[in-house]
Structure 1
Amino acid sequence: MAYTILVFNILLITILIYHAVGREVPSACNDVRDQFAVAISEFTWCSINSSRPIKLCENCADYYINIISTYQNMSEVKSVNGTPCLDYFVNLDRLQIVETQYLSSVDLWNRGKCYECYVAANGTQSRERSNEYKQFMNYYESYNSCVTNNHDNPCPNCMDSYDLLQNYFLGISNSNERISFCIDLADLMNSTWTYWGENCCKYRKHHEYIFIGSTIGVIILTIFFYIGVQFCAEKRVPTIIQQTRFAESLSSLRN
């Protein structure tokens, strides 16, 4: 079924482009046009099949790079009269089919912030994973392995792995004024939070209640201690020193 949709999309885009620009498209531009149509169709197919769980950035990078490459080829390959092939599919197309499909794919990739999962090479998308992506996956694989090996009681045994994963994700999400990280990792972290919240929050709250109860108990005991000291301590009566006769005589002489 998926391959049927892929073939249908290729044929549809090719037919639309062909009719939009008329029958005057130079034969030299047909190949690059078809390559672009295939790249768009493959990326569309991949993005739909990677929508849940979200693995758009991981699965569709090659297809997205092909879109960028084939679109650039249309501007570099020229017809017999020296006109770039892209002009036939953009400037002479009132529906802007090629441009619309291209910008739609770029917008989807950017909205998912997939570029943050990869290293930029000369300002363009590369296939090399970013250091943040690699480090996050290391923490996640450690956490996931811990949960798998401790499925009967993961909360106390995997707390440290969970904290490392969560703290690292929050760190890379807030660095360099980033609102969030690439959608694949954000979705993976959301799933982790959901699992941990449903299974382990009670465990964490139990320990927090013990700490809070202990703190309150210490405060109450301290208060009672000071109250007891006030009532039980021996009250001291100030000592009055009586003046001697010599002091009284000396005082009368001065007067």
Structure 2
Amino acid sequence: MAVVGSVTLLLLPGVLLGLCAGERLLPGRHLLLESGLEEMVLRGRHRGWPLELEDLSSLEWGFLGVLLEPQLDPECKELLSAFANSSMRFTGCLIRSARPVTICQNCYHQFREVMQQLNNIENTTQSNHCAKSLLRSDRLQMVALLSEFFNDTWIKANCANCLKSNNEGLSAGTVTFLALYNDSVACFKQNLQEGNLLPGNYSEVCKNCNATYKNLSSHYSEMQRNGQLEESGEQFHLCIDVEDAINITQRLWSTTFNCSVPCTDTVPVIAVSLFIFFLPLVFYLSTFLHSKQKKRILILGKRIHSNASFVNIQDKSN
């Protein structure tokens, strides 16, 4: 209300001068002035200034809005539009890659583009005037809020652990893992289609796909070990694409197909298991025998001492 009154007071002298001289202030806006501001002036003369908000019609608000509305520079508008387009592409990729999870392998180009557009906004010239307008001009800070959401999503997905430096592409280990995963899934599908399997009987799948599945599991374990070394002992997680793929494969292998990998070292495993099982029994038995023998020696020692005392007493009596 104070802003409207101030603007009206600033416009009042020029309007009055124009009316007194019988001239139009804006020839192209004659209808606006006569039906809008001139009426405002006439009402203001009778009712007193400043005008209340309800005194302003939609046309009057439109005229004042042009004067009061903060305008973005063309450069800032272009940066905002580029960020909006890149955000739309990245969001669409995230949704399309949600199930099965293929975010890291499908969306790293779009993520790099979003981060690049944000970097362009933050590094504008002329004392970062676009950064101030687009990132810190209001309480909501929509551009900063969206960029923070995109970055947090990328970090939670651990995509950096399956990509090259600077998100330039998939790492060699990830490419190999995805190839082995595709081979395993293809083997499952092929044996399910070719074989006349009874419900719950997947022996052909287990036999024919055993080697492929073992290669996939071995490579996954190797990726985890390499990651642990690189992370210097901290808890390490591979990217969500790899973790989701290995979970799907393991669930199919163990739960759906009920396959079990045969163990070639059965005898050593049984021997070690029996040794660990009987070790507590041996310990308690040896402890029991040792304590019983020590108690027997103690009782025998007391008897010898008492006999010696009795002999000494008899010698003194003689």
Decide: shared fold, TM above 0.5.
yes
Whether 1:106 aligns to 2:162 is no
| Pair 84,132 (structure 1): closer, same or farther in 2 beyond 3 Å | farther
CA–CA distance in structure 2, aligned partners of residues 51 and 149 of structure 1: 26
CA–CA distance in structure 2, aligned partners of residues 46 and 36 of structure 1: 15
Q: Counterpart of 1:233? A: none
Q: Which amino acid aligns with 1:166?
A: S
CA–CA distance in structure 2, aligned partners of residues 143 and 83 of structure 1: 53
Q: Counterpart of 1:63? A: 110
- 2:101 alignment partner, SS class: coil
Higher helix share: 2
Instruction: Answer whether contact 1:35 1:70 (CA < 8 A) is retained.
Output: yes
Whether 1:190 aligns to 2:250 is no
Q: Counterpart of 2:81? A: 34
Q: Counterpart of 1:161? A: 212
The partner residue of 1:138 within 172, 175, 179 is: 179
Q: Counterpart of 1:95? A: 140
5+ residue gaps, structure 1, are 1-21, 220-255
Whether 1:170 aligns to 2:221 is yes
- 2:167 alignment partner, SS class: strand
For the pair shown, which has the larger CA radius of gyration, 1 or 2?
2
TM-score for the superposition, normalised by structure 1: 0.65
Q: Which amino acid aligns with 1:176?
A: G
Instruction: Answer whether contact 1:132 1:172 (CA < 8 A) is retained.
Output: yes
Percent sequence identity over matched residues?
22
Instruction: Answer whether contact 1:76 1:84 (CA < 8 A) is retained.
Output: no
Q: Counterpart of 1:129? A: 170
- 1:39 alignment partner, SS class: helix
Q: Which amino acid aligns with 2:100?
A: P
CA–CA distance in structure 1, aligned partners of residues 238 and 111 of structure 2: 19
- 2:121 alignment partner, SS class: helix
1:136 Cα shift?
0.6
1:82 Cα shift?
4.5
1:52 Cα shift?
1.1
| Pair 176,117 (structure 1): closer, same or farther in 2 beyond 3 Å | closer
Q: Which amino acid aligns with 1:59?
A: N
Which structure is higher in RCO with an 8 Å CA cutoff and minimum separation 6? Answer: 1
Instruction: Answer whether contact 2:105 2:170 (CA < 8 A) is retained.
Output: no
CA–CA distance in structure 1, aligned partners of residues 122 and 128 of structure 2: 9
Give every structure 1 segment of 4 or more consecutive aligned residues whose post-TM-superposition deviation is greater than 3 Å. 81-84
CA–CA distance in structure 1, aligned partners of residues 145 and 225 of structure 2: 33
- 1:54 alignment partner, SS class: coil
Instruction: Answer whether contact 1:74 1:84 (CA < 8 A) is retained.
Output: no
TM-score for the superposition, normalised by structure 2: 0.53
Q: Counterpart of 2:101? A: 54
CA–CA distance in structure 2, aligned partners of residues 112 and 194 of structure 1: 21
The partner residue of 2:260 within 201, 204, 225 is: 204
Q: Counterpart of 1:13? A: none
Instruction: Answer whether contact 1:75 1:84 (CA < 8 A) is retained.
Output: no
CA RMSD of aligned residues (A): 2.4
Q: Which amino acid aligns with 1:145?
A: A
1:59 Cα shift?
2.0
Q: Which amino acid aligns with 2:171?
A: S
1:141 Cα shift?
2.7
CA–CA distance in structure 1, aligned partners of residues 227 and 241 of structure 2: 19
CA–CA distance in structure 1, aligned partners of residues 107 and 161 of structure 2: 14
CA–CA distance in structure 1, aligned partners of residues 187 and 136 of structure 2: 57
